Amino acid sequence: MSSASTTTRDRVRDGLGQDADRPDGTPKVTGGFAFSSDLHARGMLWGRTLRSPHPSARIVSIDTSAAEAMAGVTTVVTAADVPGKATYGLEHADQPVFASEVVRYQGEPIAAVAAEHPELAVRALEAIEVEYEVLDPVTDPEHAMAAAAPIHPDGNVVRHLPLRHGDVEATGEVVVEGTYEVGMQDQAFMGPESGLAIPADDGGVELYMSTQWLHVDRDQVAACLALPPDQVRMTLAGVGGAFGAREDVSLQVHVCLLALRTGRPVKMLYSREESFFGHVHRHPARMWFRHHADRDGQLVKVEARLVLDGGAYASTSSAVIANAVCFAGGPYRVPNAQIHGYAVRTNNPPCGAMRGFGVVQACYGHESQMDKLADALGMDPVELRLKNALKPGDTLLTGQVITGTAPVREVIEAAVAHPLPPEPSDDDPALALPGGAGLTAERGDVRRGVGFGVSIKNLMFSEGFDDYSTAGVLLELDGHGQAIATVHCASAEVGQGFVTLAQQITRERLGVDQVMLRPADTAIGSAGSSSASRQTWMSGGAVELACDAVREALFERAVARRDLALDDADHPLFDLRDGHVVEAGGSASIPLVDLLAEGPIERIEVHRHAPTDPLDEDGQGNAHVSFAFAAHRAVVDVDPDLGLIRVVQIATGQDVGRALNPRAVVGQIEGGIAQGVGLAVMEEIVIEDGKVRNPSFTDYLIPTALDMPEVLATVIEQPEPGAPFGAKGVGEPPTISSTPAVAAAVRAATGLALPRVPIHPEDIALTPARDG
Amino acid sequence: MPIDRPTDLDAALASLSDVPSAHLLAGGTDAMVEITFDQRRPEHIVALRRIPELRGYRVDDDELTFGAMLTYTQVERELASTAPGLAMAARTVGSPQIRNTGTIGGNLGTASPAGDTLPWLLALDARVELRSVRGSRELSLADFVTGPKRTAREPDELITAVRVPRVEGPQHVAKLGPRNAMVISVAMAAVIVDTTNRRVRAAFGSVGPRPIRASDAEQQVSDAIDWDALTCPDDAIVHFADACAEASQPISDHRSTADYRRHAVAVLAARSLRRCLAA
Ligand SMILES: Cc1cc2nc3c(=O)[nH]c(=O)nc-3n(C[C@H](O)[C@H](O)[C@H](O)COP(=O)(O)OP(=O)(O)OC[C@H]3O[C@@H](n4cnc5c(N)ncnc54)[C@H](O)[C@@H]3O)c2cc1C
């Protein structure tokens, strides 16, 4: 921005609303950034985890003696060595630190070793003898619900959430019904789980870890290790992406236990293969819907039964199913509804948080239904959506009235206003056809389709959760007598750009150029999770509050100065501009550096969002804080004979409240769409009898540059009341409705029903077309 | 772990004769994956990159010779007009990084059913040249690949080159996978309309334990083609496609199903032949 800036806030260099550079951008691109996998401590040992090869088995015996006797193997730990609580979990502590009597999923940890060399650790694992009595795994959620003997003492239904809204007997003149499935998606973050634990002199432990929520990790580790929380000190290590997969504990307890047992630093680092077993995935879903509408296309009622497979342990399943149920109607006015949601325990891999968190599954269902309804009504699918689009003041299925912004019409109109890609032509590069580099098709083999999807996503934690963030800001003089601000917040930077935003907010509120960030750690209060699209609102808000408290302190110092003429010393009006505290309306001003010469100013503030309520027995209540909306239009080319798909373009309109860093917002939109496209056309963890068949990037496919469509994005800026700076979270919406949009486009191109994502080639190539 | 870095072929053969269990390192793109997954723990390595005799290729009037250390990138860049089908196959392999370092000799050495150069080589009756201190021999590719990731190579033998006859006429190679790049073949087809010998050549990958030659299908369609006009009746193309599918022996696994693979063989065979005839 121009250096001639004078007084307006908007002109602060790299302040809010500008494309400020990421402080970690250059090091990440040039390879200088230290990820958690790069951690090293002098004399450290290497930890590894022994995992069950069986999805369901009774453990008859574990013999670690041979492993313990190996030279260079420092220690072997099992469930018997866990000093505190034997289990952990985000919502229900139902997951053992180590399985001791039964294993409930393939890959469940049984023991851990620490050795002088990673290879020795591998060999030590091989030397541990575990005798199993292998059992038949329960892998179908319907069977699990009906099973006489539960997989876990807490039962097989983690949560049944009914929702009844309006007149559940109401019927519409036009009724469409469908059953839809979503496969198990992996977050496929770049950097597998890793951490370094260092035993401390006070009997505690320091843990450097890539995670999404330091404090919730700390509390679980402390409980399992029987330590007071302040003796488990965590610092965020460089995070290579998260997308929900780092919300649950993975190796945290294991690595700390090994460090405390050996009295030496211990590092653990999962391989990619182990990572597939080391974190939760997106819940596979089976969903039945019945939509009722009147002849004009006005929605009358939505009925649904949603079954999510939570796998062996609860993780965040109860919150995930709540999202699926609450938003099963989509971003539409639905006066009546009856929905049953079930999160079910099976012997499949545990499922939990992933970008979109339950709404992804529901959205694929309701958007497929909206297309079916449009078809039945003979109505344009976009028109049907516009007709039913929510707006402020409307009521959700939960009975909650939308008091904030709800630009559903605007996001839809923005998505469809983008130009369509050029018509296919014989001059298109061969690589751009479905099949890409494989040269399997020519233009004539390919059909084009267009599809839509629209979504609603709740922002931040819901259902009465006490959701808050803490931030500290220190303003002082640096060695050159210049003002420098330092922000301290435990908000996990997982790639979303909180580090950039914290600097932008601080520059903006304090008018200083130099803003440093302290490492995120547990020396300050919790910032909550970097999930649920919440950190801009929650921790951004906390940083703003802390900045404002520092401003107040500055103004108090200004008041104390006698040379500033004051009309009303009790209620002075000041502003901070160009490194000066200035009196509002007056000409008097004091340089900031003069005020700071009196000493540094530090303030720590806690920020909470407006409280929410639990859902009642009918699934009704003001359970959510705020909502973000997105619309996607997908254009695909399909080779129906081979079933190959090339997503050509995705046009989107997204409700962002206010774009605090437009470039970062577009980055989230593009990345989110990549994951949405992946779920639509390729990403699936293949499970057979409870066993993962493709735990590697050789076989778990994510989109490459050739699979990624052109993205045309319009952000809709309607500042959200109550949100710091009017900004809504932007991370999740792009993932949610891009999947149904792509699926709809493939249906349009092929005429097939395609009730399941990801759509595999054989689903197209081997399914007879609906109408010949 | 000792690593020999011979700078000529004789030294390499001598190393291999001394330690026949040594692991031969070409581009290492298969080797590193196996080591990472702990499927291979080499005790001794003989690295092949410094051996000039294994590099490059030779174009003779009636024959093409590809050195074992020829990389995919070289094939793509330098052999697109001389060996168009091989260049198409090379372009489908992995990512640019893999193509820069991965070699034809490595593809043969691994002999995966999904090895992407193998169908084209098989369709052309390629001959694999093997050398050891004991001498040299040549095996047809069909004899060389004995099963999934199994070959007739003796432990002290080195693959030095692979040879194919030089034929005129259009070629097409098509690789099918559920992603538009960087994917393991679910089915791979190589079709050559060999106008020199007036015969269609067709072979397929990933649809059997070894690359599969569709000899009956070749024979039938070769008889149906008007070799002067280079045209073929449509029903003969359909028969050809069906016969290719018939020749395939696909399995169902986590990557795909046998039914889909068989179906894909037919589609790829017909399309590849049509593309050749239209070229
Ligand atoms: C990310 C990735 C993507 C891939 N994609 C593809 C793909 O699309 N298509 C495909 O076909 N393959 C693919 N591969 C596999 C691999 O790249 C190829 O098989 C490649 O040709 C191997 O060549 P290399 O030179 O790297 O072999 P290396 O790994 O060095 O060797 C492979 C094997 O051959 C033996 N060997 C090598 N040279 C000789 C020789 N001269 N004489 C005797 N034995 C020898 C080695 O001992 C070893 O057993 C991929 C691999 C990776 C990691």
Q: Rounded mean pLDDT of B200-229? A: 97
Question: Over 90: is that where the pLDDT of A585 sits?
Answer: no
- Give the mean pLDDT of A381-405: 98
Q: Which letter, b or e, does each residue of B104-122 get, where b requires 16 or more Cβ atoms within 10 Å of its Cβ?
A: bbbbbbbbbbbbbbbbbbb
Q: Are A701 and B181 a contacting pair at CB < 8 A?
A: no
Q: pLDDT tens across A746-766, in order?
A: 999 999 999 999 999 999 999
Mean pLDDT of A330-339: 98
Pairwise CA distance, residues A52 & A63, whole Å: 14
- Tell the residue nearest (CA) to atom 3 of ligand 1: B94
Residue A772 has pLDDT above 60, yes or no: no
Residue A301 to residue A294: CA distance in whole angstroms: 10
Judge whether A289 lies within some domain: no
pLDDT at A11 (0 to 100)? 61
The end-to-end CA distance of chain B, in Å, is 52
A740: domain CATH number is 3.30.365.10
Q: Which domain holds residue A433?
A: 410-446+626-772
- Using the atom order of ligand 1, give the atom closest to the CA of residue B109: 34
Distance (angstroms) between ligand 1 centre and the Cα of B27 equals 7
* Closest C-alpha among A367, A319, A304 to residue A164: A304
Distance B29 CA to ligand 1 centre (A): 5
pLDDT at res. A570? 52
Q: How large is the average pLDDT for residues A99-117?
A: 98
| Packed helices A738-750 and A662-681: angle between N→C axes, nearest 10 degrees | 50
As a whole number, mean pLDDT of residues A287-302 equals 98
Listed in order, the ranges of chain B carrying CATH 3.30.390.50 are: 171-278
Q: How far apart are CA A269 and CA A359, in angstroms?
A: 31
Verify that A415 and A497 share a domain, yes or no: no
Residue A274 lies in a domain: no
Burial class (CB in 10 A: 0-12, 13-18, 19+), B86: buried
Span A479-502, average pLDDT: 97
Structural domain contains residue A52: no
* Tens-place pLDDT, residues A410-466: 999 999 999 999 998 888 898 999 999 999 999 999 999 999 999 999 999 999 999
Same domain (yes/no): A534, A640: no
Instruction: Say yes or no to pLDDT of A568 above 90.
Output: no
- CA dist A458 and A442 (Å) reads 43
CB contact under 8 Å between B180 and A641, yes or no, is no
For a ligand 1 pocket test, name from B98, B175, B188 the mutation site with the most ligand atoms within 8 angstroms of its C-beta. Answer: B98
Same domain (yes/no): A502, A601: yes
d(CA A213, CA A534): 12
Cα of B266 to ligand 1 centre, how many Å? 28
How far away is chain A from the Cα of B64, in angstroms, using its nearest Cα?
A: 24
pLDDT tens digits for range A120-130: 999 999 999 99
Residue A720 has a pLDDT of 98
In this predicted model, what pLDDT tens digit does every residue of A643-652 receive, in sequence order? 999 999 999 9
* Residue B119 DSSP code: H
Q: Is the CB of B23 under 6 A from ligand 1?
A: yes
- Please report, as a single letter, which amino acid is at residue A255: V
Residue A771 confidence class, pLDDT cut points 50, 70, 90: very low
Q: Where does a domain end: A546, A578, A608? A: A608
Which residues on neighbouring strands pair with residue A761, listed in sequence order?
A: none
In a domain, A95, yes or no: no
Residue A455 domain-assigned (yes or no): no
Residues 216-255 of B with CB under 8 A from A: 254-255
Give B9: exposed, middle or buried? Use CB within 10 Å, 0-12, 13-18, 19+.
middle
**Whether the CB of B159 sits within 6 Å of ligand 1:** yes
Look at residues A187, A152, A222, A601 and name the one whose alpha carbon lies nearest to residue A353: A187
Provide the pLDDT for residue A637. Answer: 98
The confidence score (pLDDT) of residue A6 equals 36
- Domain boundary residue, one of A543, A577, A608: A608
Q: Are A713 and A771 in a shared domain? A: yes
| H helical segments located in A95-238 | 118-127, 141-146, 214-225
Distance from CA of A392 to the nearest CA of B (A): 42
> Mean of the pLDDT values across residues A365-391?
98
Count of beta carbons in the 10 Å neighbourhood of residue A7: 9
- Answer whether residue B18 shows pLDDT above 60: yes
* A455: three-class secondary structure by DSSP: strand
b/e burial code for range A89-105 (CB count within 10 A of at least 16 → b): bbebbbbbbbbbebbbb
* A394 found inside a domain: no
Question: How far A183 CA lies from chain B's nearest CA (Å)?
Answer: 14
A529-566 pLDDT, tens digit per residue, is: 999 999 999 999 999 999 999 999 999 898 888 655 55
**pLDDT value at residue A352:** 98
Task: Return the number of CB contacts < 8 Å for A and B.
Answer: 94
> Are A438 and B254 an interchain contact pair (Cβ–Cβ within 8 Å)?
no
Boundary residue ending a domain (A575, A608, A641): A608
Torsion on CA atoms A149, A155, A157, A159, rounded to nearest 10: 170
| pLDDT single digits (tens) A135-187 | 999 999 999 999 988 999 999 999 999 999 999 999 999 999 999 999 999 99
From atom 7 of ligand 1, which residue's Cα is the shortest distance away? B93
What SS3 class is residue B233? coil
User: A620: burial class by Cβ within 10 Å (0-12, 13-18, 19+)?
Assistant: middle
Say if the ipTM goes beyond 0.85.
yes
CB B69 within 8 A of CB B83: no
pLDDT recorded at residue B38: 83
Q: Which residue in the block uniquely carries the two structure tokens 């435990």? A: A490
- Tell me which residue of B41, B174, B49 sits closest to B100, measured CA to CA: B49
Query: What is the Cα A630 distance to its own chain's centre?
Result: 16
CB A196 within 8 A of CB A480: no
Residue A691: which residues within 8 A CB-CB, separation 6 or more?
A55, A106
Which one, of A464, A488, A588, A481, lies nearest residue A539 by Cα? A488
Q: Which of A356, A385, A357 is nearest to A291 (CA)?
A: A385
What would the mean pLDDT of A605-611 be, rounded to a whole number? 97
Q: Is A643 within 8 Å of chain B by CB?
A: yes
- Percent of chain A whose predicted confidence (pLDDT) is above 90: 92
Q: Residue A567 — very low, low, confident or very high, per pLDDT cuts 50/70/90?
A: low
Is the shortest distance between the CB of B110 and ligand 1 below 6 Å? Answer: yes
Inform me whether the C-beta atom of residue A768 falls under 8 Å from chain B C-beta atoms: no
Backbone φ, ψ for residue A757 (5° rounding): -120, 150
| A440 in any annotated domain | yes
pLDDT, position A579? 87
Query: In the predicted model, what is the mean pLDDT of residues B69-84?
Result: 98
Best CA proximity match to B111, nearest among B156, B148, B166, B75: B148
Question: Residues A30-58: what's their mean pLDDT?
Answer: 97
**Closest residue in B to A708 (Cα–Cα):** B180
| Domain B3-165 bears CATH identifier 3.90.1150.10 | no
Predicted confidence band of residue A621 (pLDDT cuts 50, 70, 90): very high
- The SS3 call for residue A345 is strand
Whether pLDDT at A5 is above 50: no
**Residues paired with residue A77 on neighbouring β-strands, in sequence order:** A112
Which residue CA neighbors atom 31 of ligand 1 most closely? B106
pLDDT at A565: 52
The answer to whether residue B183 scores a pLDDT higher than 80 is yes
Query: Each residue of B248-270: pLDDT tens digit?
Result: 999 999 999 999 999 999 999 99
- Which range (A527-541, B31-45, B136-150) has the least confidence? B31-45
Nearest to B14 by CA among B132, B125, B140: B132
For A:403-462, CB contacts with B below 8 A are 431, 434-442, 445
Of A63-72, A108-117, A556-565, minimum mean pLDDT range = A556-565
| β-strand pairing of B150-151 with B158-165 | unpaired
Ligand 1 neighbour B124 (Cβ under 6 A): no
Structural domains in chain A (count): 2
Q: At CA A158, angle to CA A152 and CA A160, rounded to 5?
A: 145
- The reply to whether A724 and A598 lie within a common domain is no
Res A8: pLDDT: 42
Across the range A718-747, mean pLDDT stands at: 98
Let me know: does B190 contact B206? Beta carbons within 8 Å. Answer: no
Q: Are residues A633 and A714 in the same domain?
A: yes
The beta-carbon neighbor of B176 closest among A438, A693, A698 is: A438
- Give the whole-number percent of chain B exceeding pLDDT 90: 96
B259 touches chain A (CB under 8 A): yes
- In terms of Cα–Cα distance, which of A350, A248, A331, A385 is closest to A733? A331
- For CATH 3.30.465.10, the residue range(s) in chain B are 3-165
Instruction: Please indicate whether, in this complex, the C-beta atoms of B91 and A682 are within 8 angstroms of each other.
Output: no
Asked whether residue A701 falls in the same domain as residue A737, the answer is yes
pLDDT attached to residue A577: 82
Ligand 1 atom, smallest distance to B23 CA: 47
Interface test with A, best of B91, B179, B268 (most A CBs within 10 A): B179
Q: Give domain B171-278's CATH superfamily.
A: CO dehydrogenase flavoprotein, C-terminal domain (3.30.390.50)
Same domain for A649 and A689, yes or no, is yes
Assess if residue A176 is contained within a domain.
no
Q: How far apart are CA A611 and CA A467, in angstroms?
A: 8
